[in-house]
Structure 1
C-alpha cells in the first residue's frame, strides 16, 4: 500500500507537469519524494536508469519525463521525438518492472488517438485509424508506452496505469516560441505585441480547430488520485470534457493580457487536427474531476509569466 512514507520517484520533476505533481504531493504531506535533473540522470541511457532505481529503491515511479514540443518542433525533429521518447519511457518502464517497483504511472497525450476519430475521444479509439501527421512521431512513442504498461499489467498483474491528458498549460510552462504549444505561445506573442505599441499578432492556421485545455494543477491532482487509488483499468483520459476554437482562445488571452491590436491568421500554416475533445467519463465515474476553469487558469498562467519574465530567453520588445 502507498502511504506518506512511500518513496516516490517523479521522472521529469523539474518540468511543468512534474513540478506540479511534486508541489501537490508535498502539500499533501508525502515525505519521500525523489527526482534527478537531466544533468544528473540521462533517462535515455538504460544503465544509468537501472543504477538510479537500484540505488533509490522507489515504491512508485511517476513518468512525467518526455521530449515535448508543438507542431514546428515535431515537424523539424521527427527522429528525436520518436526515439528519445521511446528510450526514456522504455528504460523507466522496463527497469521498474524488473526491479520490483510497486506502482507505475505513465503520462501520455491525447495525440495518441487517430486524427479523425469520433468526438469526444474515448479510450477504446486507440489504434483504430491513422494519426495526425504533424505529431505522429511523439504519438507513436507514447502509444508504445501505453501498450508496454498494459502488457505488464496483463501479464504480471502489476499496478501500471496510463493517464492521457488533454492539452496542458500553466505555471512553469514553456514560452519559447520555437518549441512551445499554442496557449503559452499566444500568451507570449500577445504580451510582446502589447509592449510593442499593441503591434499586430500573427497566429498560425485559420483559428477554426477546436481544442481542450487543462490547467496543470488539475493534472497533478489526477496523478495523485491515481497514486492513492488502484484504478480498475489500464488507460484513462484526463481533461475537462469541454473545448473551444483557437480563435476564441486567442480572444480570451488577448483580453487577459490587455493587447488591443489586430490579429492576423496565417492560413498558409497548418491547423493540425480539426478537433480533439476528450471523453473523461471514465475518470469522472471513479471520482476525479477538474476544478480550474479556462479563464482563471490563463490568468494564473499569465501572472506567473509576468513574475518570471526575466528568465525567458529571446524576449524583446
Structure 2
C-alpha cells in the first residue's frame, strides 16, 4: 500500500519537481496550492495521479481535511523571489508565519506523524563561516529592510516547526535549500533573468560581444544547485535523517556572479561582456553550504553547473517572453 504524502506549495518550482519524483517513487501524493503563484502545469505529466486541494495554506480547517491519512507533510508553500521580498513584504510574512502555524496545528489535529519544513539559506544572511554549516547563528541584519521579510519569516517558521511540534510528531525536519535553479523556475531569480536579458541584448545589438550590466562588481559568490539534486536531497534527508534536525541541501561548487554570467553566455552561445553596477542593499558577498551533514546520509549532488545551465538555458530560450528583471540573487 502506498504511503500518503502532502506537499504544500506543490505547484511551485521545487514543489512540482518533488511531486513528480514522489509519484514516480510510488507515493500517494496530494498537493495543497491555490495556484495563485504556483502552476499545476509544472506537474502535468503526473496530474492524474495527484489529489489537488486548492486551499490557502493559512486555512487550518482546510489543511486538516487535506492532511487526513498522510504519513508526512512536506511544507514548501511560501512567497519566494527577491522581487517579492521588496515589493510585497507583508504578504511574504503573512503566508510564511501564519502558514507555518496552520500547517503544524493541522498536522497535529490530523494525526500526521512526520513533518518536513522548507527553510532557506537566507536565515543567516551574511554567514560568519563559508562553507556554512547548519550550526551557524541565524541573523536578521535590519528589520527596516523589506528584503529580510523572507529570511525573517523562515527563522520564525523553524521555531514554529521545532517548538510547536516537539511533542506531537515522530519526526520533524527542516531543510535549507541553497540557490536552486532549473527549467521552469519562474522569472524573478538571477539565472532566468540573466538568460532572458542575455537573449534580449544579443538580439538587440547583433555583436560578437554583448554588453551585460549586473548589480555589484560580480565578485559575489554563490553555490547553485540543480533542482533534481535538491529533490534527491529532500528525500534522502527524510528517509535517512533524524528527528529535530536541520540539513543544508545544495551544491558546494562555489562560483562568482561574473563567472556565472560567462557560463550562461557559453550555454547560449553568446559572449557576454560583464559591466559592473551599484550593489543591491542587503546582498551577501558569499554563500556556499557545508554539506558534511548531508554527505553523511549518502547525499551527493550529481549535476554539475555547466550541465544544469545548458538544460535551463535551453528551456528559457524556447520560452523567452522578453522579460527583463533586475534582481541579482
Q: What is the TM-score of this pair, normalised by structure 2?
A: 0.84
Match for residue 139 of structure 1?
151
Q: Which moved more, 1:259-268 or 1:214-223?
A: 259-268
8 A Cα contact 2:237 2:294, kept in partner: no
- Cα deviation 1:170-211 (Å, max 9, x = unaligned): 022112xxxx12122111111222222355332222211111
Residue 11, structure 1, aligned to residue 17, structure 2:
no
Indicate which of 26, 29, 41 corresponds to 2:26. Answer: 29
Shift of 1:153: 5.3
Cα–Cα, structure 1 residues 81 and 253, in superposed 2: closer, same or farther, change >3 Å?
A: same
Deviation at 1:264, TM superposition (A): 2.2
SS in 1 for 2:237: helix
Asked if the contact 2:262–2:271 (Cα under 8 Å) also holds between the matched residues in 1, the reply is no
Distance of aligned partners of 1:116 and 1:235 in 2 relative to their CA distance in 1, 3 Å threshold: closer
In structure 2, C-alpha distance between the alignment counterparts of 1:68 and 1:61, rounded to whole Å? 20
2:147 aligned counterpart, secondary structure? helix
Per the alignment, residue 47 of structure 1 pairs with 61
Question: What does 1:63-102 align with in structure 2 at a 5 Å threshold?
Answer: 63-70=75-82, 72-102=83-113
Contact 1:207 1:247 in 2 (8 A): yes
Partner of 2:202: 194
How many residues are aligned here? 301
Structure 2 gap ranges (5+): 36-53, 325-329
TM-score if structure 1 supplies the norm length?
0.87
What's the CA shift string for 1:236-270, capped at 9, x where partnerless? 11111221111111111111112235332222544
Q: How does 1:233-312 map to 2 (within 5 A)?
A: 233-267=244-278, 269-270=280-281, 272-309=283-320, 312=321
